[in-house]
Amino acid sequence: MVERQVHSIESEPAAQDELIRDVAASATFAKAPALRKLLLFLWEQRNTELSEYSIAVDALGKREDFDPKLDASVRVHVSRLRARLKEYFENEGEAHPFRVSIPSGGHQLHCVWERDDAVASPFWRAVGKWALPVALVGFVAISATLFIRNRQMNRELALARQNLVLPEIWQAMLKPGRVTRVIYPTPVFYAWGDLRIRDVKNSAADGWKTSPRLKTIVDLFGEPDTTSKSYTVSSDTAAAIELTRFLSSHGVPLEVTNTTEVLPHQYGSDNLIFLGIPPTNPSLHPYLNRTNFYLTDGQNAIGNRNPKPGEPAIYRVSQVREGSSLIARFGLLTVLPGHAPNTSLILLMGLQTSAIATFAGSPSHVENWTREWRKAGAPSHFEVVLLSRSDGVITKEVEIVAFRSIT
């Protein structure tokens, strides 16, 4: 009989270190320095009970006031590392006898290796002399079966590879030879003791001085004690996770970061995908002057600078007839040229960016989106007005309301 023995890699220290070096140096991690650093950190601390705070500060370089309850970046990075490890061992490291993974719901590395050991029993020794004739008879039948199964697997593999090809419209949006950087916002909150308040139209550290929305609170409590940019909005976090899952599964070289960590040179060297609303990304303002559609009225309506026949000057939620308890939101997906040649700037703007990310990564929505894009002549740069209906952060429906080329 054959026994499958699963051995803990903890009994092989030399193999452990060699494995981690191989994985970190692989092509899968070549363009993901942040994930490579996180992998090595988790390995070095594998025997330590790690908290999200220690990972954020020691591995991701977050500030000491990092609050994991308000900032999901650790979970985002761990999720991306989990997917990248899975990708490595399913492709580049498929033949490796060791496996490294991060079980769902945690951030500790799990390392095992598998080996088949043939254990001969007295019974098999007694009948061993008959093994060769029986094997020859079985070999013919097995060979025929394997031949048929091999053809079937080749067809399945071809179909799987086809499904992993980046959709045409995404290929047009993401310029080749560039890292794609997903950037989620960390909006400013003003704090009075335990009270924290955000003005969605203001993201400046001293914005409370000129904010009419905060005037009553400032008059009542005085100048805020501190400002904070240490967490993200749940919809933007969900959008970052959705886009990361979709793009990484299609082999796109990817990084995820927040607005406070984007370096100036990256605006000109990477494909950038920004999430959120313009006030949380002040660096986007110069680019937005080129667009026809824009967020207005507390970021929950879409202005139309040059309405075509039959188009409203403003798309408002109040114009949408609702027959259910779902929350309707308008949003924008805009594709602009980047700061430098051969780069793209992709904006997912609105109060429900998770719905826009669902639209951008769902096969059925991408198919409809591609159809509208081709109808418009497959422009390199364009903008789409979307209407979504959601139950909390769970998107139920998304539809294209308007499509416009940008020249």
Q: What is the pLDDT of residues 114-126, one digit of tens each?
A: 544 433 344 434 4
Residues 265 and 394 grouped into a single domain: yes
Residues 326 and 283 grouped into a single domain: yes
Residues 176 and 323 grouped into a single domain: yes
Distance CA 89, CA 277 (A): 38
**Residue 55 near residue 35 (C-beta atoms within 8 A):** no
Distance CA 326, CA 397 (A): 9
Q: Which domain holds residue 63?
A: 2-116
Distance CA 158, CA 164 (A): 10
Query: What is the tally of structural domains in the chain?
Result: 4
Q: Which of 34-43, 78-87, 303-312 has the highest mean pLDDT?
A: 303-312
* Inter-CA distances, 6 with 12, 43, 108, 146, Å: 13, 20, 19, 27
Residues 215 and 301 grouped into a single domain: no
Indicate if the pLDDT at residue 348 is higher than 90. yes
- Lowest-confidence segment of 13-17, 100-104, 306-310 by average pLDDT: 13-17
Distance CA 211, CA 22 (A): 53
Mean pLDDT of the chain: 78
DSSP bridge partners of 183: 257, 274
Residues 292 and 395 grouped into a single domain: yes
Centroid of chain to Cα 374: 26
Residues 267 and 399 grouped into a single domain: yes
Residues 154 and 240 grouped into a single domain: no
Residues 358 and 274 grouped into a single domain: yes
Centroid of chain to Cα 208: 33
**Residue 35 near residue 42 (C-beta atoms within 8 A):** no
Q: Is 241 helix (H, G, I), strand (E, B) or coil?
A: helix
Percent of the chain with pLDDT over 70: 76
